[in-house]
Structure 1
């Protein structure tokens, strides 16, 4: 039996993102982020109810400031005390795991999808999702971009505006585009 495009996506295989089932899942995520963005802060709480229900998991005290955007939501896993500042975007076509106590500055972006390099296949919607794993007590500075397939070790720091294309070691500080380790 042929796999659905969602099954291919979840399995980490190439899939067609122009698919009715995936469109419907993105529409659910759009409704949840709309509620999160639209509710008064006192009513929204740390994470609006619809968005919290959509997420793969959200630990105690995890907080997402509005506005926020995600592709699907169900691939996002937040540890206890995670803080995502305003304007963050997570294109979660693959699992995104964010460890406890990790904090994001405003405008941080995580891009799991990788579009096909062949122009005809890219136009046809072929892409693959690469997971992102972020350890505990990590600081991701404002407007940093993390590409799919990277792992950020515990206690690491990613400088504001950095573009992370490769994994970051435990306790390391990286800055720049592409992000490089600095000593000191």
Structure 2
């Protein structure tokens, strides 16, 4: 029986060390592609789309306004008609899946990564990651933050500035820190 790699541990939700050489190299590759995308000629959307398609795991004709940053890229799966405004950051140490017709306002942060509460483990550099799933027809407002392990149901709306720490039901509007249901749609 072989010991799982740090990448395998990361993708399984187990504790892992992001400082391993392989993961460092993969993050560097993603950062280079993000840099190419962010500096690409604004009049060459076809070229920008080609860079995005090579960066993310699934690309179905989505558009992201520069600047965009991610950790690995290959863990990001974009549905049809996905749109993100400027300043999107996705820390994709686990899978981040977007349904179709999702809209993100400027400055949205989506993070699958977390650090242990135990200070000894934290000092050692251990991390964990849990996937995030965002359903169809979801609108996430400006400056919202979506944390690890969250599932956002179809047709949900996340208000600007909300910090989503728990699942959001379908057809629901959430707001606040931490985000709470404010109404049904």
Q: When the two structures are superposed, what TM-score results if normalisation uses the length of structure 2?
A: 0.95
Work out whether 1:167 is the aligned partner of 2:164. no
Aligned-partner SS, 2:97: strand
- TM superposition shift of 1:48: 4.2
Secondary structure of 1:89 counterpart: strand
Cα distance change of structure 1 residues 46 and 172 upon mapping to structure 2, 3 Å threshold: farther
- How far apart are the structure 1 equivalents of 2:143 and 2:183? 22
Give the 3 Å change call, closer, same or farther, for CA 46–149 of structure 1 in structure 2.
farther
Shift of 1:50: 3.1
1:181 aligns with 2:177: no
Write out aligned runs for 1:66-145 (5 A): 66-145=66-145
Q: Specify the SS of the correspondent of 2:174.
A: strand
Give the Å deviation of 1:147: 0.3
Report the Cα distance in structure 1 between the residues aligned to 2:136 and 2:35, rounded to whole angstroms.
29
Which ranges in structure 1 are unaligned for 5 or more consecutive residues? Answer: none
Q: Counterparts of 1:92 and 1:183 in 2: how far apart (Å)?
A: 30
2:56 aligned residue: 55
RMSD: 1.3
What per-residue deviation string (whole Å, max 9, x for no partner) do you get for residues 26-54 of structure 1? 00000000001001112244844333212
Alpha-carbon distance between aligned partners in 2 of 1:45 and 1:106, rounded to the nearest angstrom = 22
Whole-Å Cα distance in 2 between the matches of residues 44 and 120 of structure 1? 47
Shift in Å, 1:183:
2.3
Distance 1:104 1:148 in 2: 17
1:82–1:183: structure 2 CA closer, same or farther, 3 Å change rule? same
Whole-angstrom distance in 1 between the partners of 2:85 and 2:47: 11
Aligned partners of 1:111 and 1:165: how far apart in 2? 11
3-state SS, counterpart of residue 57 of structure 1: coil
CA distance in 2, matches of 1:94, 1:144: 19
Aligned length: 183
Q: Unaligned stretches of 5+ in structure 2?
A: none
Runs of 4+, deviation exceeding 4 Å: none
